[in-house]
Structure 1
């Protein structure tokens, strides 16, 4: 299919929740060597209360059951709320609107806080975790897919540094003990230009002002590269932290 057809197809695909099924076979990679899902599942089985931050459409959380009786999920993007509630309400999950810097739960009310690719605010984490409560987060670092922006002629994807060291320092400053730190830059490979257009629509913060018209010249350059080399490869940036809230002395 020619450039115009691939781009038009990707631009017309509806976006629903946090589902990248349409990209199957057109993109590969970005997964780090660890399994966030397996780590989260082990922690969920040991917890009596759970908060999942930025749950998207609830795709991952719905696979971690059986969930604690007290499970809350937050989502800060309005279009995803209905999707998350439709998927999670039958599982007994209370889905609330909220972002990582304003979590809509009471102080000290959570045994386990999960956060996969959501906004991580150390102060809010420390506020909502019960004494001895656990945080597990996988974050997207500030170097994520920066080669996309460079190839398109777009500004860098993030305006500040965000890496494992930054996050550890923030958690330590609020009294959290970090027990596990991992950081990797796995490859992410696109096999056609339509896949990249779809990705940029779904992950809107990569190039916030993205439109096909605005970045057509860069998209055509990448399309020519894919046709010549069979792929367009960039580097993702992922880091994982596990931490524990302080236990208050009596």
Structure 2
């Protein structure tokens, strides 16, 4: 069988639910930024009483922080993930509320004293609305230069122009909504892709990286990249991550 086709078929057949990337183990590796979002989230949870986790996915990360405060809410906007998150988080007493894209958070004004947001939607006005005065935001966001090398290798258009989403702009927006910035950092960790199947799986799991991704449309570019990986070694892109801890005044 064609080695390229074999890797691609394997990636297409792989299942993906919630936010589970274990299939990529040994085939791709995301380096982590110098900070630890999980450690920062755990420290904040220890002081919180009412918590909101935005865009929880299948609830995998939030569940790893258990035990959780009794009044913990999670939102999720991707319908297939909602029942997964409810099943996973129910034992920890977490209420999962469905959140349609483009709508206000399903949370009352000043309902929570901690907002956690790892790679979720970032609306500073909504964050200010749902947090109590003195409440804390801990967020790790994906910037607009995220893995642009993938788009360049496939000759695919960029979803966002570099500079559209970055730490400086996010800080400014939060300050305008009445937040005090406690910590801000921005880094570009390596994303190492060891075979073309790993890239195909990634683009199926994260379709917003290359909207309209199609194996036929991008087949020639994928084959060229497959040959490049076989001859030169792993393909390296760079994630774009920034961290913000901020307090609602």
Is 100-109 or 33-42 further displaced after alignment?
Answer: 100-109
Residues 1:90 and 2:84 aligned together: no
Structure 1 residue 218: deviation in Å?
1.1
The corresponding residue for 2:210 is 207
Q: C-alpha deviations, 1:168-222, integer Å up to 9, x for none?
A: 1110111111110000011110000000000001111100110111111111111
Residues 1:220 and 2:213 aligned together: no
Structure 1 residue 101: deviation in Å?
5.3
Corresponding residue to 1:229 among 227, 232, 240: 232
Distance 1:117 1:179 in 2: 19
The corresponding residue for 2:183 is 180
Distance 1:235 1:175 in 2: 32
Q: TM-score, normalised by structure 1?
A: 0.96
Residues 1:10 and 2:11 aligned together: yes
Distance 2:102 2:22 in 1: 26
Determine helix, strand or coil for the equivalent of 1:201. Answer: helix
1:183/1:240 contact within 8 Å kept: yes
Distance 1:233 1:122 in 2: 32
1:100/1:167 CA distance change after superposition, 3 Å: farther
Determine helix, strand or coil for the equivalent of 1:60. Answer: helix
- Can you give the 5+ residue segments of structure 1 that lack an aligned partner in the other structure? none
- Can you give the 5+ residue segments of structure 2 that lack an aligned partner in the other structure? none
Distance 1:36 1:18 in 2: 16
Structure 1 residue runs of 4+, over 2 Å off? none
Structure 1 residue 90: deviation in Å?
1.2
Q: TM-score, normalised by structure 2?
A: 0.96
The corresponding residue for 2:106 is 104
Distance 1:92 1:214 in 2: 45
